[in-house]
Chains A and B, each alone.
Chain A
Amino acid sequence: QKEVEQDPGPLSVPEGAIVSLNCTYSNSAFQYFMWYRQYSRKGPELLMYTYSSGNKEDGRFTAQVDKSSKYISLFIRDSQPSDSATYLCAMSGRSGAGNMLTFGGGTRLMVKP
């Protein structure tokens, strides 16, 4: 079983829809949670970062972490065709030298005009 599970999709939604992307994890030591966006043929870019439990909002994006359920989510409001990409969750257990990111497999999102 992978440490971080993510539905690969693809997830297809109409423009303007609210999108919910999710990851589950098994390692209770994870406390730093990130969402990366990856366009086709490009490297991942950091979208959201959250430490421990709670919510964080940035424009149309909201990240939620529920450590008790080992479940994290990314919500995209008013989705746009430019949001079409693969979304990767990533997490790590500690900071400092030697901390490593564990990635989910990514969810491919398609937003149709």
Chain B
Amino acid sequence: NAGVTQTPKFQVLKTGQSMTLQCAQDMNHNSMYWYRQDPGMGLRLIYYSASEGTTDKGEVPNGYNVSRLNKREFSLRLESAAPSQTSVYFCASRVGTSSNQPQHFGDGTRLSIL
């Protein structure tokens, strides 16, 4: 059971480089989310997509862009990476947008920016 798959698992970038983090879910979920997790900060929402064809900003969108490629895939792009973007990035999906529906998370991408 794949669930939510994130690639790559690890990445090291230099300041100013660009990169796209990939996320795919096989649960036929409508909503998808990108979070970052920093020590002591919990998870903070970067962007989300309530349904195919829509995207919206979350709490910390600056420096990121997203694409909801189709119902399965939701990518996160860093156009010009900065050391402050060093973090663990999690993608999640949910059937719909109701708060009583659980979000299912991938295992994360660990990103270091030098």
Asked if A43 and B106 sit within 8 Å, CB to CB, the answer is yes
Instruction: Name the interface residues of B27-58: CB closer than 8 Å to any CB of A.
Output: 40-45, 48, 50-51, 56, 58
Q: How far is the CA of A92 from the CA of B90 in the complex (A)?
A: 18
Q: How far is the CA of A101 from the CA of B43 in the complex (A)?
A: 9
Q: Is the interface of B mostly helix, strand, loop or mixed?
A: loop
Residue B62, interface by CB 8 Å? no
Q: How far is the CA of A95 from the CA of B45 in the complex (A)?
A: 16
Which of chain B's residues have a CB closer than 8 A to the CB of A41?
107-108
Asked if A100 and B58 sit within 8 Å, CB to CB, the answer is yes
Asked if A43 and B4 sit within 8 Å, CB to CB, the answer is yes
Q: How far is the CA of A44 from the CA of B59 in the complex (A)?
A: 19
Asked if B97 and A46 sit within 8 Å, CB to CB, the answer is no
**Contact A51 to B100, CB < 8 A, known contacts A44-B43, A88-B43, A98-B56:** yes
Stretch at the interface among A11-19, A71-79, A102-110: A102-110
Residue B74, interface by CB 8 Å? no
Chain B's nearest CB lies how many Å from the CB of A95? 4
Categorize the interface residue count of chain B: 20 to 34
8 other contacts beyond A42-B108, A94-B99, A101-B103, with CB at 8 A cut-off? A49-B100, A51-B100, A98-B97, A99-B99, A100-B59, A101-B43, A104-B42, A106-B42
Contact of B105 among A6, A43, A92 (CB under 8 A): A43
Q: How far is the CA of A103 from the CA of B38 in the complex (A)?
A: 12
Contact of A43 among B40, B51, B108 (CB under 8 A): B108
Contact of B42 among A88, A94, A95, A96 (CB under 8 A): A88
Asked if B97 and A97 sit within 8 Å, CB to CB, the answer is yes
* Residue in A4, A94, A97 whose Cβ sees the most chain B Cβ within 10 Å: A97
**Contact A103 to B97, CB < 8 A, known contacts A43-B4, A49-B102:** no
Which of chain A's residues have a CB closer than 8 A to the CB of B106?
43
**Contact A32 to B99, CB < 8 A, known contacts A43-B107, A44-B105, A100-B48:** yes
Asked if A43 and B90 sit within 8 Å, CB to CB, the answer is yes
Which of chain B's residues have a CB closer than 8 A to the CB of A103?
42-44
Residue B1, interface by CB 8 Å? no
